[in-house]
Amino acid sequence: MDEALVADEVRKTYGGRKARRAARTGDDASRSGGTVALDGVSLSVAAGEVFGLIGPNGAGKTTLVRALTGTTTIDGGSVRVLGSEPTAVDPARIGLLPQSFSPPGRLTARELVSYYAGLYDEARDPDEVLADVGLAGAADTWYEKLSGGQQRRTCVGIALVNDPEVLFLDEPTTGIDPAGRRSLWSLLSDLAAGGTTVFLTSHSMDEVERLSDRVGLLADGRLVAVGTPNGLIAEHGGKSRLVVRTPAGEEAARAAVDAGFAAEASADELVLRGVSPTDIGEAVAALDAAGVGYDSLAWTQPSLEDVYLSLTGETFEDGPRRRAAPAGGAR
């Protein structure tokens, strides 16, 4: 399969001249006051593939999109888009929705889409594009008067107006309500099915997991993992878990550990890891036998969010957890 996007050892540093010079010569730019945004990122995206990029704020996702679209200069490495340098590729073949994009004001959704359509020799019918993003009924509303979600959908429509072969979407569903997100997911799935290559960044793990053929995790400017969503979850997502809502944290954890489960307790929650569906009854019986009351039980499989938390080292700030494990090892 042809490669639509190739990044090879891409480096990018923000900062003064000294830092940029250090970055270009391969020295430590941070010593010169620079901020390393991309530190030797290599990846390739096949034509027709949907590639999702996740990572914490400041990880370098937007910088990588800019490097791939030629809207930033890189300090090292190389980028190819559809076989050419990003700035040499025919702009009619690519579409971009930048992060925090705000189009010119005091124009209606239709006028905005028509404006961007007018920049291409051949473009889609603006009304058709607006219908695709679910804004046919708001086409004559000024952009400022649209809701946050409608504004973002207008921006997605703008990125689609030239019917691009490669579509870059930097956090496309930020601010869009659940129904709007699902409608956009459906649209992006249709585009991918039609052969459009999609490079997507997002903080929504379910969005990336649902849409992407492959996912890359960027942290501190480095691509720390790449793979299919299922592959990444199997490798880094950890085990399935049983979450018990209970105020008897430590007492419940002891009971679970005595029954041979690996347990983590917090103020109002007990998490048993590595619990298969057939183990649920045994875990519940152990809690009952210890007289531990609980409000609810939820069994979950590992997800992309677990991969993200595992690889970035980030945790939810919901109070301290106490870990306990059975002497004989966790199940």
Nearest-approach distance from CB 71 to another protein, in angstroms: 5
Stretch that binds another protein, among 107-115, 178-186, 222-230, 249-257 (CB under 8 A): 107-115
Instruction: Tell which one of 57, 100, 278, 296 touches another protein (CB under 8 A).
Output: 100
Report the 10 Å Cβ neighbour count for 240. Answer: 17
Nearest-approach distance from CB 281 to another protein, in angstroms: 54
Q: To which H or E segment does residue 46 belong?
A: strand 35-46
Q: To which H or E segment does residue 240 belong?
A: none
Instruction: Tell which one of 3, 56, 120, 312 touches another protein (CB under 8 A).
Output: 120
Q: Does 17 bind another protein (CB under 8 A)?
A: no
Q: Quick one: 142 or 299, whose CB is closer to another protein?
A: 142
Stretch that binds another protein, among 50-58, 65-73, 180-188, 270-278 (CB under 8 A): 65-73
Greatest distance between any 2 Cα atoms in the chain: 74
Burial of 92 (0-12, 13-18, 19+ CB in 10 A): middle
Strand pairing report for 35-46 and 94-97: unpaired
Nearest-approach distance from CB 148 to another protein, in angstroms: 15
Contact track, another protein, 80-99, x by CB under 8 A: -----------xx-xxxxxx
Are 265 and 15 within 8 A, CB to CB?
no
Say whether 51 sits in a helix, a strand or coil. Answer: strand
Nearest-approach distance from CB 121 to another protein, in angstroms: 5
Instruction: Tell which one of 15, 52, 55, 70 touches another protein (CB under 8 A).
Output: 70
Q: Does 261 bind another protein (CB under 8 A)?
A: no
Q: Residues 179 to 198: which contact another protein by CB under 8 A?
A: none
Contact track, another protein, 131-170, x by CB under 8 A: -----------x---------------x---x-----x--
Q: Does 106 bind another protein (CB under 8 A)?
A: yes
Alpha helices in the chain (DSSP H): 17-24, 61-69, 109-117, 126-132, 148-160, 178-193, 205-211, 229-236, 249-258, 280-289, 304-312
Nearest-approach distance from CB 112 to another protein, in angstroms: 8
Instruction: Tell which one of 104, 194, 281, 319 touches another protein (CB under 8 A).
Output: 104
Are 38 and 48 within 8 A, CB to CB?
no
Neighbouring residues of 100: CB distance < 8 A, sequence distance ≥ 6: none
Which amino acid appears at position 190 of this protein? D
Q: Quick one: 130 or 244, whose CB is closer to another protein?
A: 130
Nearest-approach distance from CB 184 to another protein, in angstroms: 18
Burial of 315 (0-12, 13-18, 19+ CB in 10 A): exposed
**Residue whose C-alpha is closest to residue 210's, from 192, 224, 189:** 189
Neighbouring residues of 227: CB distance < 8 A, sequence distance ≥ 6: 214, 215, 235
Q: Quick one: 104 or 313, whose CB is closer to another protein?
A: 104
Stretch that binds another protein, among 41-49, 66-74, 282-290, 314-322 (CB under 8 A): 66-74
Stretch that binds another protein, among 1-9, 115-123, 230-238, 275-283 (CB under 8 A): 115-123
Measure the N-to-C terminal CA separation of the chain; round to a whole number of Å.
Answer: 42
In the numeric block, the tokens 């830092």 are attached to: 19
Residue 263 pairs with which residues in a beta bridge? 272, 324
Stretch that binds another protein, among 28-36, 100-108, 215-223, 287-295 (CB under 8 A): 100-108
* Binding residues vs another protein (CB under 8 A): 66, 69-73, 91-92, 94-107, 111-112, 114-121, 142, 158, 162, 168
